[in-house]
Amino acid sequence: MAAPPTTPGDPETTLLHPTTLDLGEHRIAVIGSNGSGKSTLLRLLNGLHAPSAGTVSVRGNDTVRALRQVRRDVGFLFTDPLSQLVMPVVVEDVELSFKATIKDRTARRSAALDALDRLGLGHLAEHSIYDLSGGERQLVALCSVLAAGQRILVADEPTTLLDLRNNALLQDTIASLDQQVIYATHDLGFAAAAERLLVLDDARIIYDGNPAAGIAAYRSLALHGRIR
């Protein structure tokens, strides 16, 4: 997976400065202050943003020219699960993810129930999404994203709206996934669990490497205005 040498957006507003990345690790965390470019970077990875120049490719597919295939490979989890849960009942929302691949309605319902069971959410199948806790909604959103079989999960601050218990539950669930996961977070403990860390500041990648060293650099930047 490669990130672009340039960025999307208004020519007068740089959302992400030129960069070249090859993102191959199983778990990659992205940290930085609000407005630093984290979401822009993640949205480039599944075509939610298109680069203004250069290219982004996922498993050899260009995110502009082969967007449909990229979306088959990359699922995207938003900060607020209600922004992507579109059906009123849990099982119906997960079932929607199978609509393109499973035409038979009974088989589709069975696949949705199996997907919920795999994440330990089967007991919520008939619940309204509005009756769920924040953590349960985020897990259902994750189930819906993964239901179509994407090999890569991109998650934009998925724990931000969660309390401590649900934060831990979501992190444990993500840690158990076979998929490659690339995630932005303000939770430095969550970031530390990654294999590789990217630190963004002022729309630039200022650190790329070991999470412990990167977190130390980010703390120095946030507290002292510079990396010591």
Per-residue pLDDT of the chain (228 residues; tens, 9 = 90+): 445 544 444 556 788 988 999 999 999 999 999 999 999 999 999 999 999 888 999 999 999 999 999 999 999 999 999 999 999 999 999 999 999 889 999 999 999 999 999 999 999 999 999 999 989 999 999 999 998 789 999 999 999 999 999 999 999 999 999 999 999 999 999 999 999 999 999 999 999 999 999 999 999 988 888 777
Three-class SS of residue 210? coil
d(CA 24, CA 26): 7
pTM, full prediction: 0.91
CATH 3.40.50.300 fits 2-84+151-224, yes or no: yes
Alpha helices in the chain (DSSP H): 38-44, 67-73, 90-96, 105-118, 134-146, 164-175, 188-192, 211-224
The sign one gets for the Cα dihedral 32, 34, 35, 41 is positive
Domain parsing of the chain, residue ranges: 2-84+151-224
